[in-house]
Structure formats: C-alpha cells, structure tokens
Amino acid sequence: MSSFSGQKLDKIPAHVPPELVYEYDNARDPRLLEDPHARMRSLIKEAPPIFFTPFNGGSWVVTRKKAIVDITMNPEVYSNSFIGAAASGEHSGENKEPQQGFMMLPIGVDPPRHTMYRAPLNQPLAAKSVAGLETAIRTMTNELIDQVLGAGRCDFLSDIAEPLPVTLFMKLAGMPTNRLAEFRHLATQATSSTVDAAARAEVFKRIAGILAESIKARQEKREDDLISRLLDVNLDGRHPTFHEMLGYSITLFLGGLETVVNALSFGVRHLARDQELQAKLRADPSLLPGAIEELLRLYGIASTVRRVMRDDVLHGVQFKQGDMVSLLLPAANYDDEAFPNPEQFILGRKEQHQTFNTGPHRCVGLHLARLEMKVFYEEWLKRVPPFRLDPQAPPKFMGGFNLAITSLPLVWG
C-alpha cells in the first residue's frame, strides 16, 4: 500500500474532473481527529459521493452504500490482490524463513483463488463453532471488571477493550498471550496512515517474525488452536505452505487485534453519553443484539482499498487502470439513501450496515465479534453502575485505515 504514504499530489491526474476533487486526509484531517464518525457524516453532506483526494498519494474515495456494494461485487475490475503481495512467493519451500513480501490471506487474493483460501476459515469461525467460546469470554470479561469496579473509574480502552478481544483472540489462534502490549502496538502501527511505507514494511516484518515462531512451534506439535487446524487443511489437494500460513496469520493478527477493540470502545462511548439507552439495556438485555447492530452501524471501523484493473465507468465516474479506490465503509453507514435518519440510534433497523463489508471479502470474523460484544455488554451492564465519560479527560481518536480510539476514560458510582 505504498501509494498511501501521506504525501499530497502536486498535480491532479488528467482524468479527474475538478468538481470531484475534495481534500480529505484519512490520517490528519482535524475534524476526523476531533470526532471520527461526525466527520464521516459530514463527508456524506459535503463531498461528492465518489471524490478524488490528493492526499496519501492520491486516491478515489467512495462513501455511498450502493457504489461500495457494486465495487465489492466486481473483483475482476476492483481487485484486492495488491495487498501485501510484494513478493508473495507462496510456493516457496515449506520451512523457509519469511521473506520481505507476503500475501495476506484470504484478503490479498481475488476469486476464484480467494474461495479456496477462505473456505478453511469458514468452519472454525462459524457462529456454531465460536459459540463454544462464550464461557471463556464471560470469565475474561468478569475478571477485567473485577480489576476496575471498586475504583469507580477506568480507561476503558487500555483496561478492558484491549485485553478482552486480544487475549481471547491470541488463545483462539494459538499465539502467546504474554505480549499483549507489544502486539497491540504493532497492530496499530500496521493500520495507521501516519506511518510511512518503509516504517510500515518494518512493522509487517516484525509481525511476520513473531508469527513465524508460532507457526514453527505448531508444525512440530499441533495444539487445539486455529494455526494448528490451518496447517492441516486441504488447499487443492495439498497443505498450506509456510508462506501461506504466514499470510493467514498476519490477516488474523490484524483482524483480531484492531477491529473489536475499537468497536467496543466506540459503542461504550455512545452508551456513556446516553444514560437513557444504558438504563433501557440494563432493564431488558434481550434488546442487546439489536442495539449492538445499531452501534456497529453508527461506529464502523475499517475502510478497505481496491486497485482498478482496467478502465471503468461506475456511477458516472471514470476510473483508470491503476487508480486506487478507498471504500469508506464507516461513511456508507451514514448514507441517507440507505439509512433513514442515519445519525440517529434506532433500535430494530432492518437495513444491512456496511461495517463488516459486503461481497466475497465480507469479514470472516463477524460471528466472533458479535459474540464478544454481546457477552461483554451483558456482564458490563449487569455489574457496572451507570457510567459516563470522565469530564476531566475527553476521549482521544486516531485516523488511518481503521478509525480508532486511543483513550476513553470513564467514571461511575
């Protein structure tokens, strides 16, 4: 993703009409850093539905649900295959050291190969399979609540939102749980737009080095975890190579360590600002699944990028081969044509939000994410008195490929 390196283009490409240029920097935009989702809503109101930004090397940005669905359903023209594909060499020997480049699997390949790589993840991450983790999630949530309850305050991000999904995910995948802070730092650096291309490559190299140790350990001795299971899957009559295992592991690492942390934090921030909704959910926990879907819509996290493989006109916009297209999923959740009164929290909405994306690359971990959130909110609302934002310490935010909270002080009692 080296074309997203922070610089601003001197010259707008010839095929971009001036009226479609809108200056939006997904890392440094001041309004984004003040309130990320208010900024998403403002893009719907102020910017063209598909606009070209000269920042971060220059790219198209798509903010409407219909256009995003059309792009994700057309991988032949709008490809994912550039992601992490620097020197994928996926058929290099079984035990070679990781090289500089790697493929992120299954994200970094397009159908039909994508289907082969995605299939092994469908079963272990299906709703039925992850249901077995419910007790572990509940125990972990309560242990974390025990640590902060008496104090009447916490920084929700570092005290609860980071350790819960990250520790759970490490256990599920078979990664060491004693390096939480280091892993989270690496995951944040990997998706931050303020990190330049060379530094990002270095971050990915460090992540790959750590994951290579886990894969080698499981090659020698299988355990009851995802890495062990993936080593034995059938990919077209063979097992995954070391390089392919690295590709899977990096994708799982970033998926498990970034998105749920931020989704939980933004959701809890919403509840901290809405005492009435808090009380309603405490009184009737059966409303939680619907409330979680609406929180997921209001607070989308990840955006995703496609490369244009051949010239195409979409929704009246001319794309040229080689153009980069950023699908701003959190903004699409505020699209008036897809969601009536999009800025309002409305329980029981029927429209499908974009937070988990659509098309072949729809988030494979969505069942696990939903379960973690449901169990967390059940326990937190049952045990923690009405909580609110700390008036002395407002939340802090970060932009990038993922919208993120870096600090969320809460008080109660």
pLDDT tens digits, 43-59 = 999 999 999 999 988 99
| 1 — pLDDT class (breaks 50, 70, 90) | very low
In this predicted structure, what is the pLDDT of residue 6? 55
Q: pTM score, two decimals?
A: 0.91
Amino acid at 250: I
Would the pLDDT of 89 be above 60? no
In this predicted structure, what is the pLDDT of residue 224? 92
Contact between 313 and 319 (Cβ < 8 Å): yes
The rounded distance, in Å, linking the Cα atoms of 382 and 157 is 19
Would the pLDDT of 84 be above 70? no
| 94 — pLDDT class (breaks 50, 70, 90) | very low
What CATH code is assigned to 86-305+353-412? 1.10.630.10
Average pLDDT, the chain: 91
| 101 — pLDDT class (breaks 50, 70, 90) | low
Name, in order, each residue with C-beta under 8 angstroms of 411's C-beta and a sequence gap of 6 or more: 152, 153, 387, 388, 389, 390, 391
Chain centre distance of CA 371: 16
Of 171-185, 301-315, 321-335, 399-413, the range with the lowest mean pLDDT is 171-185
Domain locations in the chain?
86-305+353-412
Of 34-43, 90-99, 347-356, the range with the lowest mean pLDDT is 90-99
In this predicted structure, what is the pLDDT of residue 180? 82
Of 24-28, 38-42, 100-104, 229-233, the range with the lowest mean pLDDT is 100-104
Between 188 and 373, the more confident residue is: 373
- According to DSSP, the β-strands at 324-327 and 59-62 are parallel
Give the residue from 45, 58, 226 showing the smallest Cα distance to 130: 226
The pLDDT > 70 percentage for the chain reads 94
Of 85-99, 137-151, 204-218, the range with the lowest mean pLDDT is 85-99
Would the pLDDT of 60 be above 60? yes
The rounded distance, in Å, linking the Cα atoms of 221 and 301 is 36
Would the pLDDT of 88 be above 60? no
Between 94 and 180, the more confident residue is: 180
Name, in order, each residue with C-beta under 8 angstroms of 271's C-beta and a sequence gap of 6 or more: 277, 278, 281, 387
Q: What tokens were used for 392? A: 């002395």
